[in-house]
Chains A and B, each alone.
Chain A
Amino acid sequence: MSKFWRWFWGLVIGVPIAVFSVWALATNERLFLVTLLNGLTLASLYFIVAAGFTLVFGLMRNVNLAHGSLYLLGGYLGYVLAEHTGWYLAAVAIGFAGAALAGLAMQVSIFRFMPGEDLRQTMVTIGLSIVIADILLWIFGGQVHQLSPPDWLNGPWRGLPVINAYSKFRLALLPLGIAIGVLLWLFLNRTRVGMLIRAGVDDRGMLSASGVNVNLVFAITFAIGAGLAGLGGVIGAVELSMVPGEDVRMLLASLVVVIVGGMGSVVGAALGAIILGVAETFGLAYAPTYSVVFTFVILVLVLAFRPRGILGQPA
């Protein structure tokens, strides 16, 4: 893209957003700032879930449509543990571990036997998502489960400028999302396994020919990707709530985030999550009946001008 076009698109997108921001700040600055914070904290959750999705896709070309079910599974596991013991951090750990194990089982028992058959793998994940969702509905029923945050994060944080008070837990999501992003970046760029994963993303065949056990790398990646979904589930159990249907919502969010950000790119997932999270909350705050239209318009615009996503690489 030439410098002119970069400026052109920067102005076309930037000026309306700037005008809207100035208008919203002038009319009701508290609403604007609270909405922005809500958007960023939601983006943090979206990023955690979608990073796992994009990691799995980037390496294995496996569109895991059961990702939302893994999110719900992690959330329910964390809920059960937190209800019995009251340890929130243990709930986070068990959510991660449980979903990771489920993902590992899926990779080892099914996907290993159909390498390269993208479409069939995707259909299998659709079947799995139906079955998992129904089993969870069977066990936990249709009512809403809400996990309460740990005491030290419970309640609002008072005395903030302009917005007065804001939920401590939601505010804590911001550093958590950043921390997970940094950890993931360090893992992918500074460790041996991360190096193998990146090599696999670039050229699976070559990695295998170099004597690396690709199936093991796949299994590790799938476990981490699924585990991130489970981790997101435990966080979502507090921030949103656990109810059948949340899996579909999270799947849609993950899909849009990775389509907008670019498949297989963790930085793209962060970018997509911020765009989607902020757009969704602003839509809900300022135009409630059409909020989903914003999501859709963003999707359409990105697909029309950058079909592989903002940071997507040619496959």
Chain B
Amino acid sequence: MSAAQWRKAMNSGAQAQAWPRQRRIAPAAGAGSVPEAAGENAVAWPQWIGQRVSARHVIVMLAVLVYPWVATPFFTFQIGGQSLVLGLIALSLTFLAGYGGMVSLAQMTVAGIAGYAVAIFGTSSMAEISLGWPWWLVVGIAVAIATVCATFIGWLSVRTEGIYTIMITLAIGMAFYYLTVQNYSVLNGWQGFQRVLAPTVAGLDLRSPVPFYYLALFWALAGYFFVKYLVRTPFGIALQGIRDNARRMNALGFNVTAHRIAAYAVAGLIAAVGGVLMTWYNGLVTPGSVGVSGLINILIIAVLGGMRHPIGPFLGAIVFVLLQNFAIDVFDRERFNLVIGAMFLAIVLFSPDGLLGLWARLRARLEGADAQSRISTRGASRRHLAKGGS
């Protein structure tokens, strides 16, 4: 930036000028993996697509689209559907933690609130409590309520910084869990709600494996591209700036608290959609689904996959679901927690970037010095995260 531009920026207010300036330097900060072209408007569509879409993107896309036609219903629903739904909820944590520097353990609580709202306003086996409204209205209300709750959780937890966030969100999540266990008048206590089933839309039964898989895939892709888009918008860039140095962003005229709360709201929206899908997938919502193991499973999934890129939580979810379904055959059926806990421990101790970090290291080995430099710049942003974003 030249001196004249700088003076202009100072005179016209930092907020207006800082965004376009920062947008251009975004790829270097580790936001995206593809170098951006110089002129943003001048790039033609085919070229734009050619720059961003490589062979592996096409292969992955085709694979997830064709998957239900080659897999058995069990693999489509239990493995595919569940991975996508858990991945979507974990994506909200990846957005908050990876790009906002705020590790919230309450994302599963937000999802659970959406699930409970679906059960209370929609249909379930508890006819005395459930209101039985049409599904489209119920889903809208559920997502709205959960997003508002997420914003409230954000408003509470952004008052403190870094390491406090994890404690406060954990306390909020556990408090909601104990509320669901104790309250019978609205939340039906320990039994929760059974038979909260996905609706039949236009003759398509969303309960059966293949339609549910595509429904989950649609929302997973929507969430993935939404996050990918959002982290390159002025809001996303400012959020990453706040993650790296909140005081400096504050000095630049950004409202740090407002950005953080907005990040909670956005993450809450993603988690709420995931929560509705999770409730339809399980066909029930009980305190067990918002218990402390549920909260921590989301963290495990996000950390396992890696918080550096929105694909991480989906990778983590696939590994988690596969482990949940098959590792117990190899080990003892009862000892799943031991296996997943030990694996989580190993990832945190030896590869803080999760599977994505392992992949990046492997590629660095193969590609040599060129990739080595890229790793080190990414490592720098990771260290900011490790410090708790303060």
Could you say which residues of chain B place their CB within 8 Å of the CB of A296? 172, 175, 179
Write the nearest CB–CB distance from B175 to chain A, whole angstroms. Answer: 4
B159 CB within 8 Å of chain A: yes
Tell me which residues from 336 to 369 in chain B have a Cβ below 8 Å from any Cβ of chain A: 337-338, 340-342, 344-345, 348-349, 352
**Contact present for B166 and A63 (CB under 8 Å):** yes
Q: How many A-B residue pairs have CB under 8 A?
A: 118
**Contact present for B344 and A130 (CB under 8 Å):** yes
A158 CB within 8 Å of chain B: no
**Contact present for B335 and A255 (CB under 8 Å):** no
**Contact present for A252 and B175 (CB under 8 Å):** yes
Could you say which residues of chain A place their CB within 8 Å of the CB of B184? 289
Could you say which residues of chain A place their CB within 8 Å of the CB of B334? 138
A117 CB within 8 Å of chain B: yes
- The stretch of A19-27, A118-126, A145-153 in contact with B is A118-126
**Contact present for B299 and A292 (CB under 8 Å):** no
**Secondary structure of the B side of the interface?**
helix
A199 CB within 8 Å of chain B: no
Closest to B162 in A: A118
Could you say which residues of chain B place their CB within 8 Å of the CB of A251? 174
Could you say which residues of chain A place their CB within 8 Å of the CB of B185? 289
Q: How far is the CA of A295 from the CA of B171 in the complex (A)?
A: 10
Closest to B341 in A: A130
B170 CB within 8 Å of chain A: yes
Given A135-B338, A138-B338, decide whether A307 and B175 contact each other with a Cβ distance below 8 A: no
- The stretch of B26-34, B141-149, B371-379, B381-389 in contact with A is B381-389
Write the nearest CB–CB distance from B108 to chain A, whole angstroms. Answer: 14
**Contact present for A117 and B299 (CB under 8 Å):** no
B160 CB within 8 Å of chain A: yes
Write the nearest CB–CB distance from A248 to chain B, whole angstroms. Answer: 5
A243 CB within 8 Å of chain B: no
Closest to A291 in B: B182
**Contact present for B156 and A293 (CB under 8 Å):** no
Give which listed residue, B163, B182, B348, contacts A290 with CB less than 8 A: B182
Give which listed residue, A124, A126, A137, A315, contacts B299 with CB less than 8 A: A126
Could you say which residues of chain B place their CB within 8 Å of the CB of A133? 337
Closest to A53 in B: B167
Q: How far is the CA of A119 from the CA of B382 in the complex (A)?
A: 11
Which residue numbers of A lie inside 8 Å of B, CB to CB? 61, 63, 65, 110, 116-120, 122-124, 126-128, 130-131, 133-135, 137-138, 248, 251-252, 255-256, 258-259, 263, 288-293, 295-296, 299-300, 303-304, 307-308, 315
Given A138-B335, A255-B171; 6 other pairs, CB 8 A cutoff: A63-B166, A118-B386, A119-B388, A123-B299, A138-B338, A289-B184
Q: Lowest 6 CB-CB distances: which A-B pairs, in order? A: A130-B341, A127-B345, A307-B159, A292-B178, A134-B337, A131-B341
